[in-house]
Amino acid sequence: MTKRSDSPKMNSTWVDEDTANYLRLRVKTFYNADYFERVVLPLLNIPQHGQVLDVGCGYGGLSTILAELRPDLQITGLDIEAAALESAANGARQNGLTNLTFEQGDAHRLKYEDCRFAAVLCQTVLTHVQDAGSVVREMARVLKSNGVFMAAEYTSIGPVSTYNSVEDEKRDDAWYEKIFRLSRLLIKGKRALGRGDDRLGVRVPLLAAAAGLDVFDVRLNDRVLHVIPPYVHPKQADYLELLRAYYAPDPDCKGLTQNIELMRAAGGTEEDAEWFYNSGDTAAVRQAITDGNLTEISAYMLYLTFAREPDQDIR
């Protein structure tokens, strides 16, 4: 998938309606329904009635999964964007979740006292902040002794993680060489503008260790997204909805404007940005979705880093 970059043009990008809708749909496709219950919750092992902080909670995707599975926990979602928090709070109300509260704040300077939370989590946030190391240190600071840290963050690997029946056959070696070169420029541009690092996921265990945490496991999320005609299986429905949003027409060319800015910041050209933006055959893919004959299989891999705040006595 190459049409849109995942990176924010500026903070207000997160409250743009299309982006908000796309993020809400995408969060629903990170995990299979049983993965959190069977794998993540036992690893977190949060004590009964523990206080949990979800840093960069956005529209409340991660907080909501946890709040539904563990109604005993007191979960605080923190985000820099007031509009996202309002939407998250509305969602919680609609779902009847009373163990969730949302607060505004900057992850680089958490407004909580030391050693407050039994668990501190984040999901697709460290790739978007200016200084991921300082955010991880802040997350460690507000963790109790033996408290648990989890970060679910991606490392961008671009089109190698996707098979698309309309586009794959048209792509030759030259296309792949160009897409990798330009993807790299976009990542460099995002870093140069202080908007985060799309290759950060794989380095989060190192940041956690550097913050004094004891990294006890690193996993991947488990969902392989797939739509295979005739789309009769219920699991394919949410991916199809996500694809419709992803391949929707972009009349204002918001994605292109963003790509031009990032590309220029990394020394690339406007032509590079345009080529990248037009590198997917979006009209043909849209038609295949409408005709019901698109096959797409894709992994949006998140590295899940699990770490613990060491017991103060043995530190």
Enumerate binding residues for ligand SAM (CB under 6 A).
14, 23, 27, 56-59, 61-62, 79-81, 84, 106-108, 123-125, 128-129
Residue nearest to ligand SAM (CB): 58
User: What is the rounded distance in angstroms from the CA atom of residue 67 to the CA atom of residue 100?
Assistant: 7
Q: Give the whole-angstrom CA distance, residue 143 versus residue 76.
A: 13
DSSP 281: -
Q: Give the C-alpha distances (Å, rounded to integers) separating 187 from 139, 190, 298, 310.
A: 25, 5, 21, 34
Query: Is 91 or 205 the residue whose CB approaches ligand SAM more closely?
Result: 91
Coil/strand/helix, residue 54: strand
* Cβ at position 56, least distance to ligand SAM in Å: 3
Nearer to ligand SAM, 82 or 228 (CB): 82
Backbone dihedral angles phi then psi of residue 171, each to the nearest 5 degrees: -95, 125
Kindly state the smallest distance separating residue 281's Cβ from ligand SAM, in Å: 26
Rank residues 16 and 37 by Cβ distance to ligand SAM and give the closer one: 16
Least separation in angstroms between CB 292 and ligand SAM = 29
Residue ranges of E strands in the chain: 51-55, 74-79, 100-104, 117-123, 143-154, 162-164, 214-220, 224-227, 296-299, 302-308
Q: Which neighbouring-strand residues pair with 53?
A: 76, 120
Shortest Cβ distance from residue 197 to ligand SAM (Å)?
13
Which two structure tokens, joined as six digits, stand for 254?
């918001």
Which lies closer to ligand SAM via its Cβ, residue 106 or residue 274? 106
How are beta strands 302-308 and 224-227 bridged, if at all?
A: unpaired
- Nearer Cβ to ligand SAM (53/129): 129
Q: Which is nearer to ligand SAM, 55 or 263 (CB)?
A: 55
Q: How far is the CB of 123 from ligand SAM (least distance, A)?
A: 4
CA distance 282 to 304: 31
CB 92 within 8 A of CB 61: no
How many whole angstroms from its chain centre is CA 258?
18
144 and 315 in contact (C-beta within 8 Å)?
no
Residue 8 or 212 having the CB closest to ligand SAM: 8
Closest distance to ligand SAM from the beta carbon of 85 (Å): 9
DSSP state of 40: I
Q: Is 25 helix (H, G, I), strand (E, B) or coil?
A: helix
Report the residue number, 108 or 178, with the smaller CB distance to ligand SAM.
Answer: 108
Report in angstroms how near the CB of residue 107 gets to ligand SAM at its nearest.
Answer: 3
State the DSSP string of 187-228: HHHHHHTTS--TT-GGGHHHHHHHTT-EEEEEEE---EEEE-
Minimum separation from the CB atom of position 92 to ligand SAM (A): 13
